[in-house]
Chains A and B, each alone.
Chain A
């Protein structure tokens, strides 16, 4: 879109000389090459890891590796199912607990709080990101987990009729505490991105809702949240990525269970934790199996991200007529939904 078309006028005054167009071209091509390089790097990363993982896959078979419920390196049995499920449970918990709280903080800071309180609260939430992951793990296992154990036991006893949640002995390292700490760890990023997105909601959207008599909450629900949906999901995806990939804290908090953990307040295992726990001492086939576990993690992230994108795409398609009108007005949401590809 470098030259506008002027009907009937002398277009030459608007055209730029080839020399003047050079910086534009240079920028475009160099950025494109950069994107291509990054893509190639990531693919190389993937390929290299597949290479390292191959011996394990030929030993156990790809499906055998992914779905066998037995991780026993000493016996050279590598079934990653307990690890996959553990990763899903802990990340799922992290999202379940973390995203609503994060969005709540973002809503509070942008819409409800008194102005003076905004900056302090923002900084405090981001302070959570400053804590190293090893500290989260240690704080969790030495401080929080013992304190929560009685409460966890109470819940397990009261709700023993619900499979998976109830019944069974509550151990100090367990799925729940891992998911909880992960939720705290993803708070800053989800909150920050949600906050940034909410801050850009055009005020006439909000004022229109208020002018029609909406209460504060209704205004938020009608004007703010839908506008921010894809941005919030983007933030949540980053949070999920963090939760799935967190290594050290999970390793400390999840305990160790080579078979599928049987209940929420019992030990489990996760893909990242097994790599951290075993790589230092692993050689040969075992090492290869750990790389294979890393690959399973990629596939997992891929699948979850893909599902999330599909869901958001469905949602934005459902709103299509409104968005087209809105975006003609100011080029807003359509560019988010469309260009992000979410």
Chain B
């Protein structure tokens, strides 16, 4: 809870010089302007997405698979069902891999590794991983698990590529949050006789939870919106399938291939899919925040 700062006329009573008052005002306004600046592109993008994508939305849009029929004007081109389900499956698996591992490594870094040479090495390499282009993760999996083993494209391979993408973000952001927990909190729990593991699970992690949820959600949002890692790993297919060992469709890949089509209806489908993806991630965000708020220790 932050203290109330004195209003400008009160500042005069405290003998704050006009120069300082002016600086304060300028700074506040600049910050406000910066915030508004950040919101402008959002408004523009949302407007653009709604403009181009809302028209494609209909019940059948969400409940039918793309038919693969792209150029016969009379027949239906289908909807995006398999893409939606595919994204959910692939991203869910990727998160199930990346989040526990990422949080585990972050906990290790903060609680045990600290500033040892080994921890520095881990941090160093995780840092390097943050800068890898998303396509290279896909290519790595492509070389190791697709071409290297002579086996087919598969949904879980796309998940692996995405989890590699998510890992450094989860580790880094979780580490930053865990760092911020005052040592005093840990020490008082320990002083009460709690074993280390208890301190971590009952004190540290719950306190860090809301912050970590933010980082994790951002990682998931990024993964859900990435095309490049999936192109050479999960590939795409039109039919819905629940087998992650097969080609699997996904929204970003569907958008990417549809948006370059010469057929206008297919391009519109791409924008409808883009709008769908944004809405899905937004919903995920809201739901996760609600849960985090509920489970937060007072």
The reply, when asked whether chain A contacts chain B directly with Cβ atoms under 8 A, is yes
Q: Are B180 and A301 in contact (CB under 8 A)?
A: no
Q: Is A289 an interface residue (CB 8 A)?
A: no
B81 to chain A, nearest CB (A): 18
- Contact B20 A215, beta carbon cutoff 8 Å: yes
Query: For the complex, would chain B's binding face be called helix, strand, loop or mixed by DSSP majority?
Result: helix
B136 to nearest A CB, angstroms? 5
Q: Is the CB of A42 within 8 A of B126?
A: yes
Contacting pair A134 B20 (CB below 8 A): no
Instruction: Tell whether A31 pairs with B104 under 8 Å between CB atoms, given A203-B2, A215-B16, A217-B23.
Output: yes
16 contacts between A and B (CB under 8 A): A28-B112, A31-B112, A45-B140, A49-B140, A105-B34, A130-B285, A132-B225, A133-B134, A144-B44, A188-B218, A189-B169, A203-B3, A234-B172, A247-B134, A248-B226, A298-B128
Which residue, B32, B121, B132, B173, has most C-beta atoms of chain A within 10 A?
B132
Whether A297 contacts B131 in the complex (CB less than 8 A), given A123-B286, A291-B139, comes out as yes
Instruction: With both chains docked as a complex, state the minimum distance between the C-beta of B246 and any C-beta of chain A, in angstroms.
Output: 22
Contact count band on A? 35 or more
Task: Please determine whether B180 and A24 come into contact, CB atoms closer than 8 angstroms.
Answer: no
Find B129's partner among A24, A27, A42, A125 (CB 8 Å cutoff).
A42
Chain A residue at minimal CB-CB distance from B284: A130
* Inter-subunit contact A206/B130 (CB<8 Å): no
* CB neighbours of A235 from chain B (8 A): 173, 176
Kindly state the separation between the CA atoms of A193 and B211 in the bound complex, as whole angstroms. 8
B interface residues, Cβ below 8 angstroms from A: 1-3, 5, 11, 14-16, 20-21, 23-24, 27-28, 30-35, 37-39, 41-42, 44-46, 48-49, 101, 104-105, 107-115, 118-136, 139-140, 143-144, 164, 167-169, 172-173, 175-177, 179-180, 182-184, 187, 190-191, 193, 195-197, 200, 211, 214-215, 217-218, 221-222, 224-228, 232, 251-252, 255-256, 259, 274, 277-278, 281-282, 285-286
> Assuming the A-B contacts A134-B259, A196-B180, A248-B227, are A34 and B140 also in contact, with contact meaning beta carbons closer than 8 angstroms in the complex?
no
Q: Sorted from nearest, which 5 A-B pairs have the closest CB atoms? A: A301-B131, A331-B183, A104-B34, A241-B130, A132-B225
Q: Please tell me if the beta carbons of B20 and A218 are within 8 angstroms of each other in the complex.
A: yes
Most buried by B among A135, A207, A238: A135
Q: Does A2 sit within 8 A of B, measured CB to CB?
A: yes
- With contact pairs A206-B3, A301-B128 given, residues A32 and B226 touching in the complex (Cβ less than 8 Å): no
Chain B residues lying within 8 Å of A102, measured Cβ to Cβ, are 38
Q: Is A154 an interface residue (CB 8 A)?
A: no
Q: Given A4-B191, A31-B107, A48-B144: A193 and B173 within 8 A (CB)?
A: yes
Q: A143 and B215: CB pair below 8 A?
A: no
A34 engages B38 (CB within 8 Å): no
Asked whether any CB of chain B lies closer than 8 Å to the CB of A256, the reply is no
In the bound complex, do residue A133 and residue B2 qualify as a contact, i.e. CB atoms below 8 Å apart? Answer: no
Nearest CB on B from A93, distance (A)? 15
A318 within 8 A of B: no
* Segment of A74-82, A107-115, A162-170, A171-179 engaged in the interface with chain B: A107-115
On chain B, the residues within 8 Å of A14 by CB distance are: 193
A312 contacts partner chain B, Cβ-Cβ < 8 Å: no
